[in-house]
Structure 1
């Protein structure tokens, strides 16, 4: 399949999962995870109509995206990887959305750089939903305070983000994130990747981050 066919297949699967859950498929946004992908591969997806892309590393994104964004000004770029506070200035200038806000010090750095740059990305609070030491994300019992800190900052709160543990049923973790969001009156849920975006959509995901299934047959 070519890029357009792969994208169409994923969008059809998203729509089917949404309809099973009684949701409007238009309420789910597809992010193409373009880390490690070439400019040519990304261009193919842009030509197919894709407008949201996700990168994990600031340096890699800086090497590819300035020229792409100059040609495609309507594309939205998402930071989906762990972000160091010392990369906040570059991140603010490049990304429209940051999905990996997990600590007050990073919020402070992003807000400071946003004020300097006159450019304000929206942010998702990342939750360490499986309480895994090796993963980013704030502790579950710290989500409320970090959400409140974002609401008191100049950065718009987009929602909550999480990555369930590997090799286990993801549904309970998606359900827990959705419950946290409801309790905190948060609308956005960035959850679900190539292997599990369908249950994520059925459990309330509003943003799914898909890489392999979009770029490889």
Structure 2
């Protein structure tokens, strides 16, 4: 099976600073991988690099078969990136935002309804403008949009942040379902418990490099750490 992500000696300079300083990483298609490391380790940059949003150099930088050194744009329609800020239109109502996402990705109404139910976005909430939602509610809308988009590669930066426990559980179920359906998932987190429950492997970054790769240890439940 072809790798979803294949990086060899990948370097990314942000204002001349090496945010990625020679990353070697292979993620197989259909795998779920957790990125760990302190702030500034390069986790967010690595996710953005996989989404084709960061200029790269190196021996090899391929995502879903696309050469990101030669062409960063072509991969973008195949990946879904959720960063710290939800990519939403503040003036749209929740239901309009979801319909807009469905139209962009040719999703059926049943898929929208399933996303609404999964992230508890029904009832009076559907008519509320995005800008009037709490941070957690906006993140739920963004996750629903990601579900509707059905990307081949899911890239999530601290995906559980701002969510209540039921929404966190819904997110974990959604990611597991995505992997079962053949998608690949990479997410960065500081929450040890969530990483252990969800991911098959954890990749530890430090100083813009991959410091260690190991099977994710298992636990009976989520345990948050700083």
Larger Rg: 2
Higher strand share: 2
- Larger RCO, structure (CA 8 Å, separation 6 or more): 2
| Same fold, TM-score > 0.5, yes or no | no
Question: What's the TM-score once normalised by structure 2's chain length?
Answer: 0.36
The structure with the greater share of residues assigned to helix is 1
TM-score, normalised with respect to structure 1? 0.37
